[in-house]
Amino acid sequence: MSKFSLRPRPRGGRWPVVFAWVAVLLLVIGAALMGGAGPLHRLGVTSLGESFGLLRQGAYLAMGAAALGLVALGIASVCRRGKPALVGLMVIAAVAGMMVVPWQMMQRAQNVPPIHDITTDMQDPPVFETLAPAREAAPNAVDYPGEDFARQQRTAYPSIQPLTIALPLAEVRQTVEEVAREAGWEIAHVSDSRLEATATTRWFGFKDDVVVRLTPGNDGVRVDVRSASRMGMSDIGTNAGRVNGYLEALKAKHPNRLAE
């Protein structure tokens, strides 16, 4: 009589493995949709609405993957199946990591005013000239939106103020252009007293326009900066961050020539 060695059937059967790998599949698809939403819009393959739709669908799939990962982890733990449990745990961790940036953006949106035009001079904001046609073709206005935006900016970003550099105009203008190029902006116009440029956001490729105005005075050259998005009501603090970063970079170029 021949004897056969039969392997015992794993506890829980195939279900822990099925749940774990379906969770992985949903995770991969969700990550592809969320990660590709921005580049597809930037390349002109999808409209902004379609890209936001992909982003939303990817988030739903990622949350579904986390739910299945949790189910796989629970079943595998009860059945003492180490590999499916590990896969489920890794899926949950991956989804948590994917959601960090959207969560941070949501938190930031709740803590900043819904404005998209920031300037160091709210009484006489620098105006767009060379970039005016591009802005006229976009949803947001060419002109500064007015006192409502100014009031919200004063409350949220009181540190955004003009900068005066005690150097000749030509030297300040050279530094202004140098810092703009270092920031990766696309220069549209440069003259003795002004610079206009466009900054493109990395993920979705949104276009924000910047104008820098130089005004000579007794203490040196006053630098005013304005940064404004072409579309969207709220910039989630992007333009304020850009203006602050630009002014700090200018200060770093001439730390000993700043007027009080």
Residue-wise pLDDT for 105-143, tens only, equals: 788 878 899 999 999 999 999 999 999 999 999 999 999
* Three-class secondary structure of residue 236 per DSSP: coil
* Three-class secondary structure of residue 110 per DSSP: helix
Residue 4 vs residue 46, higher pLDDT: 46
Q: 121 to each of 18, 89, 112, how far by Cα in Å?
A: 61, 52, 19
Predicted pLDDT of residue 156? 96
Q: What does the DSSP assignment read for 43-109?
A: TTSS-HHHHHHHHHHHHHHHHHHHHHHHHHHHHHHHTT-HHHHHHHHHHHHHHHHHTHHHHHHHHHH
**Is the pLDDT assigned to residue 91 strictly greater than 80?**
yes
Predicted pLDDT of residue 6? 52
CA atoms within 13 A on the CB side of 71: 17
Class of 117-253 per CATH?
A: alpha beta
Residue 225 vs residue 99, higher pLDDT: 225
Predicted pLDDT of residue 67? 95
Residue-wise pLDDT for 141-194, tens only, equals: 999 999 999 999 999 999 999 999 999 999 999 999 999 999 999 999 999 999
The mean-pLDDT minimum among 2-6, 29-33, 35-39 falls in 2-6
Residue matched to tokens 């969320």:
34
Average pLDDT, the chain: 91
Q: Where are the domains of the chain?
A: 15-111, 117-253
Residue 73 vs residue 1, higher pLDDT: 73
* DSSP state for residue 29 in the 8-state scheme: H
pTM listed for this prediction: 0.80
Of the pLDDT bands very low, low, confident and very high (cuts 50, 70, 90), residue 4 is: very low
Predicted pLDDT of residue 260? 65
Predicted pLDDT of residue 8? 59
